[in-house]
Structure 1
């Protein structure tokens, strides 16, 4: 049996407690969910943070630092993956798309990775997508991606390249060619965001075939595609990701009671398919951390 990575994406930017009351919000809740997911088999935890009062996505470094500190007080081995996805959104104003609307959060690339520079996590995500995303436009120009990648690497963190469509893979290869991103990258193939990769086995195989040589990759789907695409990723040679960032149900009839419950189901699927989750120590060796 070949072991695979299992990542728990614990909350993200879009899931709300109205969709699932089990969503963690405070740093203590997020850390507890990460630790519970690790007990069920996750070797990596992918972390966003929220403002505890408003429950809205936050980029405050102290919130990230508290989550990481709480995890490290209990588990030194667990691989911590922090997002850098915030700070790339432009919300066009109705009637005048040149003006930024209230949901715009565009920031310079240095500000988007400030928490990475200070906390120095094991892994940091790096989005390559420029696309319509919900009611906004996500803007990740090559210059910003190049700068963020440089700062992530300088912090000693490994970039996880987030790929939402085939053009993102072309950008990855272009940045590799100029030496801005490393060879044999760690990649996530994101499926289910409207106007990006559509979830399905054909997409997984197509995207896998475009990846640079030596890439380590995970394909994952959102919503009702989360668990089917987890299986498809494993069958195609990839790794696994699940959590309340990507979906809120265990199945069509059952709201997920926790991130840990989603990881437990994923672990059983992985074991049944002959690819049980790697331990954090094994995952560190696999990722050369």
Structure 2
């Protein structure tokens, strides 16, 4: 049976508390959700932090410190800290936790882009927190910044600690940006490409686009130099996950990417999505990779070499 890495993105920075009661906001809830996702079969947990009192996204490493050690103590999962944070943060804010904790993995957006959720405001009449409405409505003016200089700085500064990356590619151009850094020697095989579909500002969630992104990655990198995974936003999450697995890829689920477990039904937890992904994979003859197997596939340094 072939092994598939399941990543779980536990909370993210774009979904707001009003959208789902299941979205983890406090350090304690983020830890609980991460542990449950790992127990359900996720080899990697992809982590953001929230201000506990309001649920607003934050890059504060002191808040990360309230849940990272708990996850490390209670699971063997690969801890993957965001360097994306939110579009409202500076690059230094986004890097503060990763710089302090030197994790095995960090996410890394492979280019600057528009990143928006403002159409969701039309579906919300009451907001739980004061900050939420402006954050959602004004996302039509969000630019997620990651210039070539930013990316080089992140690769060099975290690479010195042996951290490797979930290279998040939201469009075809991001694959070419990754190829540029591969040519410069700042990225070395084996590396991990996360192809992302359905974000307003990125490539659309059309299956033809998935095929084209994979073909482009194969042409640019060579099939044996990288591992690849797919995530898709909202209602596209499970169909794209399934197609990626059929094509030999890895998968990412979690409440950062979709708040639902099936059409018009909110998920009750991250673990529920991991369990569904695991069932789908089993029907295709796949098993979830263990954290140790994921580390071997991705060439990670091991949890004992972090500062968590």
TM-score by length of 1: 0.90
2:208 and 2:94 mapped to 1: Cα distance?
34
1:106 and 1:72 mapped to 2: Cα distance?
27
Report how many aligned residue pairs link the two structures. Answer: 271
The SS at the match of 1:52 is coil
Structure number having the greater helix percentage:
2
Q: 1:173 aligns with which of 179, 194, 198?
A: 179
The SS at the match of 2:255 is coil
2:260 and 2:112 mapped to 1: Cα distance?
29
Deviations 1:244-263 (A, max 9, x none): 00111111142111111111
User: Which residue does 1:228 correspond to in 2?
Assistant: 239
- Corresponding position: 1:105 with 2:111: no
Deviations 1:181-237 (A, max 9, x none): 223321100101123111132111111112212211101100000000100111111
Map of 1:142-153 to 2, 5 A cutoff? 142-153=148-159
- Corresponding position: 1:195 with 2:177: no
Judge conservation of contact 2:91–2:150 (CA < 8 Å) in 1.
no
Map of 1:61-76 to 2, 5 A cutoff? 61-75=61-75
- Corresponding position: 1:240 with 2:251: yes
Aligned-residue Cα RMSD (Å) equals 1.4
Q: What's the CA shift for 1:130?
A: 1.4
Q: What's the CA shift for 1:129?
A: 2.5
Unaligned runs of 5+ in 1: 90-103
- Corresponding position: 1:115 with 2:115: no
Deviations 1:152-198 (A, max 9, x none): 21122111111011111111111111112223321100101123111
User: Which residue does 2:122 correspond to in 1?
Assistant: none
The SS at the match of 1:29 is helix
The SS at the match of 1:124 is strand
Map of 1:19-168 to 2, 5 A cutoff? 19-75=19-75, 77-86=76-85, 89=87, 104-108=88-92, 111-134=93-116, 135=140, 136-168=142-174
User: Which residue does 2:191 correspond to in 1?
Assistant: 185
The SS at the match of 1:269 is helix
Judge conservation of contact 2:82–2:94 (CA < 8 Å) in 1.
no
The SS at the match of 1:160 is strand
